[in-house]
């Protein structure tokens, strides 16, 4: 096992992700700034920026929004900084400076920085770690500051958050007079590891480690702080079976947490931070815990889209193999959290399975959360939506059947923005003698291996087809292993170097390894075969028994009623029949439509007398052959409001 690093210079230049990046830069970031400033008509008000102005004394009024409203500002700053790295924008840079100055004025003289407690309840700092999200908000400001410093070189926000982190480090710990505790929503832990890495101040690493080690101690913060009913911050902290300490990932010390459980976003953020901890400490026992959690997730609790969290109530994991399609929660933030965790697992252990999960989550569970134009969002991402039922049934109340402009609890939209804007950081990892190409994205990168550098340019239409051209230009004397990820969905591929077929290497840990000197200019062409695949779930998954999904490359497909007519449940897929894939530049900014053969049940006329919903079965009858057209799941809901959609179809 060998830790890798990602501190390279990479930018996304062309193709699928360039289009997404442009959407984030040109539309989402300006749109979200308007949203955070309550300038979007018909959208739920945010008040997030105004809260900072009020705390700064620049404006008058009361705090408004959720108790964790500050975090939306933190995430937006982070996204904006990544966008500056991809494409500099002086006005945005200046807007950030202004906002950071305001944040600075909102900071209390002792370093404290939280608009809810500053404006509303200054005397109640740190009194409800379980639900007040105080350290969570601190974490997002810290992550914003790290990104701002990394991208702009400016220390303005970094210094603000360091003062705050210093205050937190003074307040919390095992020393005399210090508070014992940690946040109900993990987030500050991964932020502090990032802050440690840019400042080299071990205090921040140790504080992160403290919060992780303290978590789940008994008796601890949850026995002390959980209120018996609704707290003033709008969260029902009622003790019920879905809302106990495990919801907060605080039911056991983290090294004893062997099953994926609790609130799905909290779980992902905690596991990511635990992996950061492992990356710093190399503690083998912690790695075993992380591997166990990973296997529990991917082997028993993960949707095929990279979505996670089966239940709305508690936004949480349920039991193993319980993966309902229609009532799925699969919060966009949880898939983003999974990318954070998987990336840290990948840095710990260069196996393609982690990068495969990042790919699945990014192309499906994450991207589904935002409309093509960047202005409408899903908070939850079910794999099947039947609007008549979803709009009526109480157990579907969390399902939006069309994307919406903003949310009262708007954690997802700025999280998507920062995720896409930072995706260039997920393309490569490297060690002293290996460069792993983890994601296939039109991009330019300059990577340092010791004193020598190599530039890699990727040109590809991925994910629409599987051909990737890599131009590798190394300085004289450079030699390393280029490790090209062969995704687990790919069963056949070809590779050539400078026009000659490359047959020498084998696939190891999921990577095609090419070890050689790379001085001068080299063209590597990897061609991943990308047929249409029918996918089935393990037989343990009750909800998916007898069903098939369509996958092509990294994309999970779905069918929509606007292509296939209403009553999608009447369709069955013929898994043995021919399929075809058709690239359509005219459709939804470009897509690859998959066609497959199947059947549609036809409703027989009911017997006149007596009327009944049920009749003696007549197998093989009452269906007609149809062509089923599927589109990538992440593009659903972009053409008609309140259409039907399903990922899984019955097998004929």
- From 13, 327, 429, 579, residue interacting with its own copies (rule: CB under 8 A): 327
**Phi-psi category of 65—alpha, beta or left, where left has phi over 0 and alpha has psi -120 to 50?**
left
CB 316 within 8 A of CB 309: yes
Binding residues for its own copies restricted to 461-490, rule: CB under 8 A: 488
Q: How many CB atoms lie within 10 A of CB 600?
A: 17
- Residue 214 or 384: the one with the smaller Cβ distance to its own copies is 384
CB 162 within 8 A of CB 199: yes
Of 411, 412, 495, 558, the catalytic one is 411
Environment class of residue 617 by beta-carbon count within 10 Å: exposed (0-12), middle (13-18) or buried (19+)? exposed
Interhelix angle 412-421/70-86, rounded to 10 degrees, is 20
CA distance 194 to 209: 12
- Residue 127 or 509: the one with the smaller Cβ distance to its own copies is 509
Q: Which residues of 387-419 are buried (b: 16+ CB within 10 A; e: fewer)?
A: beebeeeeebebbbbebbbbbeebbbbbbbbbb
Instruction: Establish if 394 lies at the interface with its own copies (CB under 8 A).
Output: yes
Minimum distance, C-beta of residue 589 to its own copies, in the bound complex (Å): 28
The interface mask with its own copies, positions 545-564, x = CB under 8 A, is xx-xx---------------
CA distance 72 to 32: 10
Interhelix angle 156-171/90-106, rounded to 10 degrees, is 30
Minimum distance, C-beta of residue 622 to its own copies, in the bound complex (Å): 7
**In the 8-state DSSP scheme, what is residue 306?**
S
DSSP bridge pairs for 591: 584
Instruction: Establish if 575 lies at the interface with its own copies (CB under 8 A).
Output: yes
Binding residues for its own copies restricted to 406-435, rule: CB under 8 A: none
CA distance 547 to 575: 10
Instruction: Establish if 538 lies at the interface with its own copies (CB under 8 A).
Output: yes
- Residue 246 or 276: the one with the smaller Cβ distance to its own copies is 246
Binding residues for its own copies restricted to 438-457, rule: CB under 8 A: none
- Residue 79 or 390: the one with the smaller Cβ distance to its own copies is 390
Instruction: Establish if 45 lies at the interface with its own copies (CB under 8 A).
Output: no
Query: Contacts by 278-287 with C-beta closer than 8 Å and gap 24+?
Result: 278/348, 279/3, 279/193, 279/344, 279/347, 279/348, 280/193, 280/196, 280/205, 280/209, 281/209, 285/255, 286/255, 287/1, 287/348
Is 315 one of the annotated active-site residues of the chain?
yes
Binding residues for its own copies restricted to 124-163, rule: CB under 8 A: none
DSSP bridge pairs for 645: 385, 560
Q: Which of 343, 344, 347, 377 is nearest to 362 (CA)?
A: 343
Q: Which stretch binds its own copies (CB under 8 A): 149-157, 215-223, 415-423, 608-616?
A: 608-616
Binding residues for its own copies restricted to 48-67, rule: CB under 8 A: none
Instruction: Establish if 570 lies at the interface with its own copies (CB under 8 A).
Output: yes
- Residue 422 or 439: the one with the smaller Cβ distance to its own copies is 439
CA distance 62 to 53: 11
- From 200, 576, 578, 624, residue interacting with its own copies (rule: CB under 8 A): 576
- Residue 203 or 398: the one with the smaller Cβ distance to its own copies is 398
DSSP bridge pairs for 370: 377
Binding residues for its own copies restricted to 609-648, rule: CB under 8 A: 609-619, 622
- Phi, psi at 651, each rounded to 5°: -85, 135
Q: Which stretch binds its own copies (CB under 8 A): 150-158, 200-208, 385-393, 456-464?
A: 385-393
- Residue 426 or 648: the one with the smaller Cβ distance to its own copies is 648
Is 98 one of the annotated active-site residues of the chain?
no
Of 78, 315, 400, 644, the catalytic one is 315
CB 306 within 8 A of CB 365: yes
Minimum distance, C-beta of residue 452 to its own copies, in the bound complex (Å): 33
Binding residues for its own copies restricted to 264-323, rule: CB under 8 A: 295, 298-300, 302, 304, 310-314, 318-319, 321-323
Binding residues for its own copies restricted to 200-219, rule: CB under 8 A: none
- Residue 28 or 302: the one with the smaller Cβ distance to its own copies is 302
Instruction: Establish if 388 lies at the interface with its own copies (CB under 8 A).
Output: yes
CB 62 within 8 A of CB 120: yes
The interface mask with its own copies, positions 516-535, x = CB under 8 A, is -----------------xxx
- From 433, 569, 584, 627, residue interacting with its own copies (rule: CB under 8 A): 569
Binding residues for its own copies restricted to 345-374, rule: CB under 8 A: 351-353, 356
Site size for its own copies, by CB under 8 A?
Answer: 71
Instruction: Establish if 392 lies at the interface with its own copies (CB under 8 A).
Output: yes
- Residue 540 or 625: the one with the smaller Cβ distance to its own copies is 540
CA distance 336 to 269: 9
- Cα–Cα distance list, 212 to 129, 208, 291 (Å): 14, 6, 17
Minimum distance, C-beta of residue 106 to its own copies, in the bound complex (Å): 36
- For Cα atoms 132, 65, 238, give the angle at the middle one, nearest 5 degrees: 40
Q: In a 3-state reduction of DSSP, which class is residue 83? A: helix
- Residue 298 or 497: the one with the smaller Cβ distance to its own copies is 298
Minimum distance, C-beta of residue 311 to its own copies, in the bound complex (Å): 6
Minimum distance, C-beta of residue 21 to its own copies, in the bound complex (Å): 28
Q: Which stretch binds its own copies (CB under 8 A): 13-21, 222-230, 388-396, 407-415?
A: 388-396
Minimum distance, C-beta of residue 264 to its own copies, in the bound complex (Å): 14
- Residue 211 or 271: the one with the smaller Cβ distance to its own copies is 271
CA distance 397 to 223: 31
Binding residues for its own copies restricted to 239-268, rule: CB under 8 A: 241-242
Active-site amino acid positions: 315, 411
């Amino acid at each position: 096992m060998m830790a890798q690093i990602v501190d390279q210079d990479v930018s996304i230049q062309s193709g699928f992700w360039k289009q997404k990046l442009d959407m984030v830069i040109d539309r989402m970031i300006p749109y979200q700034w308007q949203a955070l400033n309550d300038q979007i008509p018909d959208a739920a008000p945010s008040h997030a920026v105004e809260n900072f102005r009020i705390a700064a004394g620049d404006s008058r009024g009361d705090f408004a929004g959720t108790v964790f409203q500050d975090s939306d500002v933190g995430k937006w700053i982070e996204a904006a900084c990544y966008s500056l790295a991809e494409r500099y924008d002086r006005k945005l840079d200046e807007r950030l400076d202004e906002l950071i100055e305001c944040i600075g004025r909102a900071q209390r003289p002792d370093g404290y920085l939280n608009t809810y407690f500053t404006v509303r309840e200054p005397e109640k700092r740190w009194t409800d770690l379980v639900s007040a999200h105080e350290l969570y908000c601190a974490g997002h400001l810290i992550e914003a500051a790290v990104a701002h410093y990394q991208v702009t070189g400016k220390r303005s926000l970094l210094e603000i958050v360091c003062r705050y982190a210093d205050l937190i480090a003074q307040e919390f710990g095992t020393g005399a007079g210090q508070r014992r505790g940690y946040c109900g929503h993990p987030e500050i832990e991964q932020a502090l590891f990032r802050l440690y890495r840019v400042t080299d101040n071990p205090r921040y690493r140790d504080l992160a480690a403290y919060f992780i080690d303290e978590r789940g101690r008994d008796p601890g913060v949850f026995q002390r702080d959980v209120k018996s009913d609704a707290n003033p911050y709008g969260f029902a902290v009622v003790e019920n079976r879905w809302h106990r300490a495990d919801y907060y990932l605080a039911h056991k010390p983290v090294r004893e947490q062997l099953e994926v459980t609790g609130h799905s976003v909290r779980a992902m953020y905690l596991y990511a931070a635990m992996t950061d901890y492992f990356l710093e400490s190399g503690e083998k026992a912690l790695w075993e815990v992380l591997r166990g959690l990973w296997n529990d997730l991917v082997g028993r609790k993960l949707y095929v889209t990279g979505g996670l969290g089966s239940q709305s109530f508690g936004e949480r994991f349920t039991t193993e193999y319980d993966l309902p399609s229609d009532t799925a929660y699969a919060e966009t933030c949880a898939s983003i959290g999974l990318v954070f965790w998987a990336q840290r697992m990948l840095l710990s252990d260069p196996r393609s399975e982690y990068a495969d999960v990042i790919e699945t989550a990014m192309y499906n569970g994450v991207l589904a959360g935002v409309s093509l134009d960047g202005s409408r969002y899903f908070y939850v991402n079910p794999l099947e939506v039947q609007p008549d039922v979803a709009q009526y049934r109480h157990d579907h109340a969390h399902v939006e059947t069309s994307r919406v402009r903003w949310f009262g609890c708007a954690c997802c939209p700025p999280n998507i923005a920062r995720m896409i804007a930072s995706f260039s950081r997920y393309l490569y990892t490297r060690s002293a003698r290996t460069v792993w190409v983890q994601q296939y994205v039109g991009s330019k990168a300059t990577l340092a291996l010791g004193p020598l550098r190599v530039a890699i340019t990727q040109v590809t239409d991925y994910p629409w087809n599987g051909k990737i051209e890599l131009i590798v230009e190394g300085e004289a004397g450079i030699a390393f292993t280029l490790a090209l990820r062969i995704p687990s969905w790919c069963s056949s591929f070809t590779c050539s170097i400078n026009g000659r077929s490359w047959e020498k290497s084998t696939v190891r840990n999921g990577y095609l390894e090419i070890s050689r000197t790379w001085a001068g200019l080299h063209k590597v062409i990897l061609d991943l075969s990308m047929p249409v695949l029918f996918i089935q779930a393990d037989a343990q998954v009750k909800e998916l028994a007898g069903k098939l999904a369509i996958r092509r490359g990294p994309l999970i497909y779905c069918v929509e009623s606007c292509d296939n007519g209403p009553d999608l449940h009447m369709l069955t897929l013929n898994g043995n029949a021919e399929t075809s894939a058709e690239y359509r530049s005219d459709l939804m900014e470009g897509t690859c439509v998959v066609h497959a053969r199947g059947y549609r049940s036809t409703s027989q006329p009911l017997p006149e007398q007596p009327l009944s919903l049920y009749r003696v079965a007549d197998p093989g009858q009452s269906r007609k052959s149809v062509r089923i057209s599927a589109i990538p799941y992440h593009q659903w809901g972009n053409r008609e409001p309140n259409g039907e959609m399903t990922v899984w179809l019955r097998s004929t």
